[in-house]
Amino acid sequence: MTLLKRVKRLPEGFVWGAATAAYQVEGSTGKDGMGKTMWDDFLVSKGRFLPDPASDFYHRYPEDIRLAAEHGIKALRISISWARVFPNTDGDPNPVGVKYYHELFAECRKHGIEPYVTLHHLDSPIGMFSRGDWLNRANIDSFVNYAQFCFEEFTEVSQWFTINEPISLAFFQYVVAEFPPADLFNFSSSFQAMHNMALAHARVVKVFKEGGHRGRIGVIHALKPVYPIVDTPDNRHAAELWDAYLNRFLLDLTFFGKLTDRTSALIEEICGVQEASFSVEDGDYDEMQAAVGLNDYLGINYYQPQFVQAYAGENRSKYNATGEKGTTTLRMKGIAELVKNPDVPTTDWDWNVYPQGLYDILRQVDANYPAHPTIYITENGLGSKDVLDAAGDFVDDDDRIDFIDQHLNALLKAREDGVDVRGYFVWSLQDQFSWSNGYNKRYGLFYIDFETQRRVIKKSALWSKEIASTID
C-alpha cells in the first residue's frame, strides 16, 4: 500500500535531501581538541539542557548516513563546526576536527549522498563571540579566513552555503533574547549583526569565485510571509514593517546589494520607534553589489508565516520553548503584534501550519528579486512530541508526512507557476538537540532514544523512501 498522498511524483532531477547542523547533532562538545562555542557556557548558566551527547553524530554518522541512503536521501545538509576546526577562532587548525569532516564527507560519497555544507550555522566559536560576534566587523575577516581554509581543505565538497539564517541569529540574540548574549529588544544590535553578516557573505562568495574553487555557493535565509490578521490600513502597514525586518532587509542586501528606497524607509521607521541605529561604512554596498551576480543558489528555510496587527504599546516577548500551546507573546512598539489566526492550525510550540505561506514567499521572492538564482528549500519540517509505539520499535508520524506532503505540493505549484525551485531538504534527518527546546521537540525522520542513542525508523522515513523513488 502506498504512503503517498497529494504528491505522487517529484520532477526529474529534483534534489531530495535532509538537513542537520553540527552543534545540534554531533555532541562531543569540547572533545578531541574542539574549542568552545557561544552556546557552551550559556546553556550551563540556563541549567535547562546540554548539547551532549545530542544525537552523537560525531561517532554515529556512519549509521545515520547509511539509514539516510536506505530511505531515499540523496543530499544531506551538514554544517562544519568552526570551533571544531579552529578551536581558537583563528590560528592553527585542529587536525582531529579536520580529519573528522573529511571522513564524514567521504561517508556521504560512499553512499551516493551529496553533502551540502554550511560554514556557519548559529554557532560562533567563543573567541569570535567574546569579541562581539557579528557586531564586530573585525570578525568578518576571521570568517573569511575560516571559509577560505575550508574551500582549500575540503575539496571533496562542491556545494557550499555561507551562513544559515542571519535573521534568526540576530532576532534570537538581540530581540527576544533566547540566544546568547540574550539582549532583549536591542534592534540596533539586530540590524548591525544582519548588515555585517550580509557583508561577510558577500566577501566569502567573492573569495570562492576568485579562488576558482569547484562547485556552487549561496546563502540560506529563513523567510516568513507576513499577513495582516484583518485587512485594515494600520494592519497592512504593520505587516509591511514586520516583513521589512524579517525578509526584505536581508533579501535586498543579497540581491540588490543595498536597501531599496521603500525598505530603507520602513527600516528607518522601525529604528525611530525602537530608538535604534546601525552603521554602514563607505564601500559596504559596493562590496555587496559586486557579489549579487556571484550567488549560485538561494536556500530558503520555511516553517511558518506570521499574522499581525498594528500595535502601539510597549515591547513584550514570551517565547514558547516548552511546548505549552498558546504561550507565545510578541508585541513590538510601533511595529506589530503577533496574533493567532483562528483558521490556521498551530503546533504545540505555537507555530502556524500554513503551506500556502511557502507558495506565497516563493512567488514573493521571484517577483521582487529578479536577480535571485536557483532556489532550494533547505529546511522545512514539523516539530512534534513523537512517541514510540508499544513495542518500542516504530513511530507512526502521519502528521509529519502530511505536513511535508502539503508543503511539497505548495512548492510544486510554485514551480508550475515559474519559480525555479530544484530541491527540498527535510528538517531533519534525525531527532536532535534544539537551541531553545532541548530534546522534547522532535523533527527527525529517525527517532533517537537520547539515553541509549538507539535509532528507530519513523513512518515518515518510509514515506521519504517512496517519494524519492519517484524521481527519474
pLDDT the model gives residue 251: 98
Domain of 405?
A: 15-225+292-302+350-468
**Do residues 197 and 189 make contact, with C-beta atoms less than 8 angstroms apart?**
no
How far are the Cα atoms of 10, 218, 315 from residue 469, in angstroms, in the given order?
Answer: 9, 28, 49
Does residue 37 form part of some domain?
Answer: yes
165 is catalytic: yes
pLDDT cut 70: percent of the chain above it: 100
Query: CA dihedral in degrees (237, 243, 248, 249; nearest 10)?
Result: 90
- Dist CA 448 CA 444 (whole Å): 8
Q: Say which CATH number the domain at 420 has.
A: 3.20.20.80
278: its cell numbers:
546601525
Catalytic residue among 26, 178, 337, 379: 379
- Dist CA 87 CA 203 (whole Å): 23
Does residue 99 form part of some domain?
Answer: yes
- Dist CA 186 CA 179 (whole Å): 13
What average pLDDT score do residues 1-19 get? 97
DSSP 447-465: EEETTTTEEEEBHHHHHHH
Q: Is the pLDDT of residue 472 over 90?
A: no
Does residue 175 form part of some domain?
Answer: yes
How far are the Cα atoms of 94, 190, 312, 313 from residue 274, in angstroms, in the given order?
Answer: 43, 12, 11, 12
pLDDT the model gives residue 1: 86
pLDDT the model gives residue 418: 97
Compute the C-alpha angle 465/419/255, nearest 5°: 115
What average pLDDT score do residues 59-75 get? 98
* Tens-digit pLDDT profile for residues 369-390: 999 999 999 999 999 999 999 9
What average pLDDT score do residues 441-446 get? 98
DSSP 214-257: SSEEEEEEE---EEESS--HHHHHHHHHHHIIIIIHHHHHHHTS
pLDDT band at 313 (very low <50, low <70, confident <90, very high): very high
71: its cell numbers:
530511505
Number of domains in the chain: 1
What average pLDDT score do residues 392-397 get? 96
Does residue 328 form part of some domain?
Answer: no
The distance in angstroms from the start CA to the end CA of the chain is 21
**Do residues 65 and 108 make contact, with C-beta atoms less than 8 angstroms apart?**
yes
Cross-strand bridge partners of residue 144: none
Q: How many CA atoms lie within 13 A of 343 on its CB side?
A: 4
295: its cell numbers:
550567488
Please state the separation of Cα 167 from the chain's center in Å. 9
Does residue 382 form part of some domain?
Answer: yes
* Tens-digit pLDDT profile for residues 203-257: 999 999 999 999 999 999 999 999 999 999 999 999 999 999 999 999 999 999 9
CA torsion sign for 5, 11, 13, 18 is negative
pLDDT the model gives residue 48: 83
Does residue 146 form part of some domain?
Answer: yes
What average pLDDT score do residues 53-66 get? 98
DSSP 374-439: EEEEEEE---B-----TTSS-B--HHHHHHHHHHHHHHHHHHHTT--EEEEEEE-SB---BTTTBT
379 is catalytic: yes
Does residue 284 form part of some domain?
Answer: no
Q: How many CB atoms lie within 10 A of CB 237?
A: 16
Listed in sequence order, the residues at least 6 apart from 288 whose beta carbon sits closer than 8 Å to its beta carbon are 198, 199, 202, 253, 254, 257, 258
Catalytic residue among 26, 165, 178, 240: 165
- Dist CA 352 CA 346 (whole Å): 4
pLDDT the model gives residue 325: 93
Q: 305 preceded by cis ω (within 30°)? A: no
- Dist CA 59 CA 455 (whole Å): 13
Mean confidence (pLDDT) of the chain: 97
pLDDT the model gives residue 227: 98
What average pLDDT score do residues 61-81 get? 98
Q: How many CB atoms lie within 10 A of CB 136?
A: 16
* Cell 546589494 belongs to residue: 257
pLDDT the model gives residue 326: 93
Does residue 278 form part of some domain?
Answer: no
pLDDT band at 47 (very low <50, low <70, confident <90, very high): confident
What average pLDDT score do residues 92-99 get? 98
